[in-house]
Structure 1
Amino acid sequence: MPTIRSCAAAIAAVASLSFAASGSAMAQKKYDTGATDTEIKIGNIMPYSGPASAYGAIGKTETAYFNMINDQGGVNGRKINFISYDDGYSPPKAVEQVRKLVESDEVLLVFNSLGTPSNTAFQKYLNGKKIPQLFVATGASKWNDAKNFPWTMGWQPSYQVEAKIYAKYLLKEKPDAKIAVLYQNDDFGKDYQRGFREGLGDKASMIIAEESYEISEPTIDSHIVKLKSLNPDVVLSFTTPKFAAQTIKKIGELGWKPLQIVTNVSVSVGAVMQPAGFANAQGVLSADYRKDGADSQWKNDEGMKKWSAFLDKYMPGADRSDNSLIYGYGAAQTMVKVLQMCGDDLTRANVMKQAASLKDFTPDTLLPGVKINTSATDFAPIEQLRMMRFKGETWDLFGDIIAVDTATN
């Protein structure tokens, strides 16, 4: 006949087995297509050829970054298989390549694909299949639409956020300004225009002229002459690089001295400021969220030391003045952070849940004070920039970080 002690021992053993089984179930790994015990497949579309091929450096940087992570053991023991295809900046080609990534390569997610036209072309396809379209490499505001496109999220500051920051700056520094806005007549220019008006709010009457141009125009000199005749003291150039250079040069040739602000996409010294003429570009304002790889002020910055060591080993000979290398590194670092947060639950739903749960994350290449924050209703990871002024042959940062909340946009 069993003793009371032996019965108690048997009950304890059963309880222990039950708890172990429960714990095992709790720790069970969860995967969707594209993830296993050893691998995470990530897809990407990049214009390695065509009119936007310069941006191919972003994809090359991301490939190198993931190679570094794999050399360090991967993410939670899993190696990243980064599959990046060329779309030539062609929306039809982008759709074809994304279908290949999803249906043939069977990736877990699509990451940091570049260009508003391309991403727009396959956004509904990916959302329909509930596949993450993460950290889109374009500043269009449409990527921050968690309600209608819950599987799409941007990364960089949106054009509207940037324009609102310029409005915030002008309201503080030149509240009585007479403002002229020159904008590209497409989604790019209209996003900036809309954001700037919203940023001014009930002070939108400060805008005395809004002039649009077509991207097919060979020159916009006539538009500049027209704006000068209205005598504004601030000119906002919501333009792409070619036209930003034309604007700065023509204003200088006219001997006109308004305060000029250009978009973040048009801050290249080599592609914009030099063609415009350094003498004409003095005092032009813009804003940025990234450190400059060619700027000696970051020589002893810990984050940039890591970036520099990464380039030395994985991209020797790369042009450190190309801010695409800064961009690609920061985006890839953010992607790895999300995968780390996923742990052993590598389902697509959990990838999006973790991407929407970033709190004060600071990639090595972002300016001090710029942090990544997301939530279930805010799919705009970076909403801070710092103003900068062109002086000599370089940009000088000044003032504090300026933030704009777009959670309710």
Structure 2
Amino acid sequence: MLHRNGITSFVLKTSLIALALAASSVTQAETGITDKEIVWGNSSPLSGPNAGYGPIGRAQRACFQYINDELGGIKMGDGKTRKVKYVMYDDAMEPARALQNARRLISQDRVFGVSGNAGTGANLGARPFYNSEKVPQVFIFTGGPMFGVKEEVEKFPYTIPALLAYNTEAVLYAAFIKDKFPNAKIALLNDDSGGPFFSKAFVKAAKEMGLNIVLHEEHSYSEPTIDAKIDRLAASGADVFVDITTPKFVVQALKRMDAIKWKPAHMIWGVGSSIGGALVPAGPEISKGIYSGLWLKDQADPAYANDADMKLYVEKLKKYESGLNPADQNAAVGWFVCNAVKSVLEQTKEPTRKAFINAARSMKQVKVPLLLEGITLNTNGAVDGYPIESIQMGQFDGTKFVPVGAIINYEGKTPGP
């Protein structure tokens, strides 16, 4: 029989054990996820010279709200359906602010993961922190080749790109020029963020293919105008212009080219060729004839007027983020990224970040809304860290991009950086 002091001691010990067990279960629970909710984050350029990419984050917000309100959440691989609490901050695509946002999202908001963060430099600056905290930094809006190459994936396994690698895109553009304009004089302009990765690969491929680059210029985000650079490129006598910059500067380039009557065959990389975000603002007439590599369906293309995924995207974007233009391909990117995250979560068997990353690194021909038919997401651990390695070349007719040739599948062939 226990005496009063013994009973008190026994109750106290039992209570302490229960508290210890409770504390243990709390510490073992994965941050950012419960049985009913996932906390998800994004860092986007909502201001500054690269605000043209802001719709990526905003369209994700609309997509997750639609999923919450109309689908009841996302049914994950463990059988439980969870709603998404979406947190977004402005980084102006500045590396220092992107890192600051990463610290805030992880330590303050306690996110499970982030997606759709834009910019090569911004994502590079934050990558070590996300990985040290083992927080997924996925489907990021950059084609920086380092984000998918084997050695980098092994060092930073929690980071996964969304775009075709810039060096792959560059090789495909060079091959396209070799086929269509073999004797061209080429002018090349790139920005100082992701552009150098493209230009390095393009210059190398052009040399190997015997193409003639007559002038290569670079500009920084901080420059207010690139008019003088366009003037120098035009004066070079180039009849093919490879334009590797962001929507704001694409608009400037197109307007300046029109003003000085320079009319080369004009190619713009995928991240700068949004119809709604660059070509229409510059002027549909002066944008006619532009070539670009495509991987997403284009809302401005009448061929997709009755496409079920496109109709849903347009309807729900207008409902949940009415200030966005569905024709802006950066909004379409955000919608695609949200659905790519949803697809991976549906294959995540346990409510842990590690299980999520394992699912993201083992995608096999995953179809996601708004991807062009014939383009799917494929990954294979560290061996293949690039989800997209296919492209469709297209030419802008003033309203839409008209496909030129068949989809080029470069699966497993992305060259090293």
What range is the shorter-chain TM-score in? 0.7 to 0.9
1:47 CA drift (Å): 3.2
Q: 2:290 aligns with which of 284, 302, 306?
A: 284
Please tell me whether the aligned partners of residues 378 and 408 of structure 1 are also in contact (alpha carbons under 8 angstroms). Answer: no
Q: What amino acid maps onto 1:350 in structure 2? A: A
CA distance in 1, matches of 2:33, 2:86: 14
CA distance in 1, matches of 2:332, 2:102: 25
Please tell me whether the aligned partners of residues 275 and 328 of structure 2 are also in contact (alpha carbons under 8 angstroms). Answer: no
Q: Which residue of 2 aligns with 1:232?
A: 238
Q: For residues 391 and 358 of structure 1, do their structure 2 counterparts lie closer, same or farther at Cα, with a shift above 3 Å needed? A: same
1:99 CA drift (Å): 1.8
Q: 1:370 aligns with which of 369, 375, 381?
A: 375
Q: Which residue of 2 aligns with 1:87?
A: 90
SS in 2 for 1:346: coil
* Count of aligned pairs: 378
Q: Which residue of 1 aligns with 2:55?
A: 57
SS in 1 for 2:347: helix
Q: Which residue of 1 aligns with 2:338?
A: 332
Q: 1:248 aligns with which of 222, 243, 254?
A: 254
Q: What amino acid maps onto 1:169 in structure 2? A: F
Q: What amino acid maps onto 1:35 in structure 2? A: I
Please tell me whether the aligned partners of residues 136 and 143 of structure 1 are also in contact (alpha carbons under 8 angstroms). Answer: no
1:368 CA drift (Å): 1.5
Q: For residues 86 and 219 of structure 1, do their structure 2 counterparts lie closer, same or farther at Cα, with a shift above 3 Å needed? A: closer
Q: What amino acid maps onto 1:354 in structure 2? A: A
Q: 1:123 aligns with which of 124, 127, 142?
A: 127
Q: 2:356 aligns with which of 337, 345, 351?
A: 351
CA distance in 1, matches of 2:391, 2:356: 27
CA distance in 2, matches of 1:53, 1:275: 14
1:39 CA drift (Å): 2.5
CA distance in 1, matches of 2:376, 2:227: 39
Q: What amino acid maps onto 1:43 in structure 2? A: G
1:4-36 CA-partner distances (Å, limit 9, x unpaired): xxxxxxxxxxxxxxxxxxxxxxxxxx9632233
Please tell me whether the aligned partners of residues 42 and 108 of structure 1 are also in contact (alpha carbons under 8 angstroms). Answer: yes
CA distance in 1, matches of 2:325, 2:248: 21
Any stretches of 5+ residues in structure 1 without a counterpart? 1-29
Q: 2:107 aligns with which of 103, 106, 128?
A: 103
Please tell me whether the aligned partners of residues 53 and 88 of structure 1 are also in contact (alpha carbons under 8 angstroms). Answer: no
Q: Which residue of 2 aligns with 1:379?
A: 385
Any stretches of 5+ residues in structure 2 without a counterpart? 1-27
Q: For residues 241 and 52 of structure 1, do their structure 2 counterparts lie closer, same or farther at Cα, with a shift above 3 Å needed? A: closer
Q: 2:30 aligns with which of 21, 29, 32?
A: 32
Q: Which residue of 1 aligns with 2:312?
A: 306
1:62-89 CA-partner distances (Å, limit 9, x unpaired): 2232233334233232323333132342
1:232 CA drift (Å): 3.1
Matched, 1:175 2:175: no
SS in 2 for 1:193: helix
Q: Which residue of 1 aligns with 2:39?
A: 41
CA distance in 2, matches of 1:249, 1:73: 46
SS in 2 for 1:156: coil
Q: For residues 213 and 54 of structure 1, do their structure 2 counterparts lie closer, same or farther at Cα, with a shift above 3 Å needed? A: closer
SS in 2 for 1:147: helix
After TM superposition, the score normalised by the length of structure 2 is 0.80
**What do you get for the CA RMSD once the two structures are aligned?**
2.8
Percentage of pairs with the same residue: 33
1:139-178 CA-partner distances (Å, limit 9, x unpaired): 3223213133211111122332322221121222233333
1:279 CA drift (Å): 4.5
